Amino acid sequence: MFGIKKGGFDSRDFSRELKKVMDKKAYGIQMADEIFRLLCGYCQGGADCTVYYGYGGREILFGTTMPEDEAAFYRRDFREHTESARVRDKKAVWIWTENGALRGMWVFEIHDGAAESTEMVCRETVLAVQAVFSACLLAEELEKEQKRDCVTGLYGNVVFEETLRRFMEQKADGYLIAARRPVRYGGCGTAMNGTIQMLAETCISSGVPDIYRIGEDTVALLCMEGQEKAYAIAQQIADTGETDLCVTRISALEGGKVYPVIWRSLGRTEHAGKAFGLHYPYPKLPIYMEGSEGGWNGKTEQ
């Protein structure tokens, strides 16, 4: 491919620029963002670009050269693997990629009067960056895997905040659902580990991919499938037992007041002063050891 010129596009030049972006830099979301900007720079004369990537059913990357509210039209295409024209009589090109659990969708809206070679240029640039772009996102996910809570298998506060902040910046139309299940101690009852595990399993069964453990007894979900779905999930959780719930529209949240909104709604005023970006000191390891006969034995993990 490299060295072939089409409509003023020099793929050899693009390769050199891509190498500069990659030179002596760590693979991750920052490099992926730089690669996206480079690609858009080469296509901007003939097309607008929107990209979505997901990992294991979760949306992990969104980028666009269009107004974000217009580009959001393609989010449903990404989730449902469809190709729907946003503007009648305007040509759009979809390019799908897949690498195991990593799935991507590139959409190029071709400008009116663009050169005939524009579609080919778009396809060539995606082909040129696809491998390294995927490697960057997989490296980012590998780093996130180290931030999972070992009791529930869910991501914790760090990833929760990164994802919620991204949705807030995008002004995404979604809902934050927080669920807290009180821990009851007793000789024959389950201790904290069992309680939070059962709550996590209930949340996972909802089918929502963005689920996080944000406190010792609290799980948060980010639902991007509308109000009806969000409240149906909340009802599903409530039906499984005594649970405090908070349902809030993401667009109504403010960065510095996310945790206060959650804790006040869940009746935990002692935590209402916690700031978004200040992570909880709760340990990653199980903090209660259950005795062989069940129930808390009074010992803690160090």
SS3 track for 139-190? HHHHHHHCCECCCCCCECHHHHHHHHHHHHHCCCCCEEEEEECCCCCCCCCC
Are the C-beta atoms of residues 253 and 170 closer than 8 Å to each other? no
How much helix, strand and coil, in percent to the nearest 5, is found in the chain?
A: 40, 20, 40
Of the candidate ranges 58-72, 77-91, 172-186, 280-294, the one whose mean pLDDT is the lowest: 280-294
pTM above 0.75, yes or no: no
Q: What percent of the chain has pLDDT over 70?
A: 82
Angle in degrees, CA 211, 153, 142, rounded to 5: 90
| pLDDT value for 192 | 66
pLDDT tens for each residue of 136-149: 999 988 888 878 88
Burial of 232 (0-12, 13-18, 19+ CB in 10 A): middle
Phi and psi at 248, nearest 5°, equal -135, 140
- The residue among 262 and 185 whose pLDDT is bigger is 262
**Pairing assessment for the beta strands 5-6 and 9-10 based on DSSP bridges:** antiparallel
Question: Given this model, what pLDDT does residue 48 score?
Answer: 94
pLDDT at position 1 over 60: no
List the structure tokens of 176: 């934050």
Question: Which pLDDT does position 191 carry in this prediction?
Answer: 62
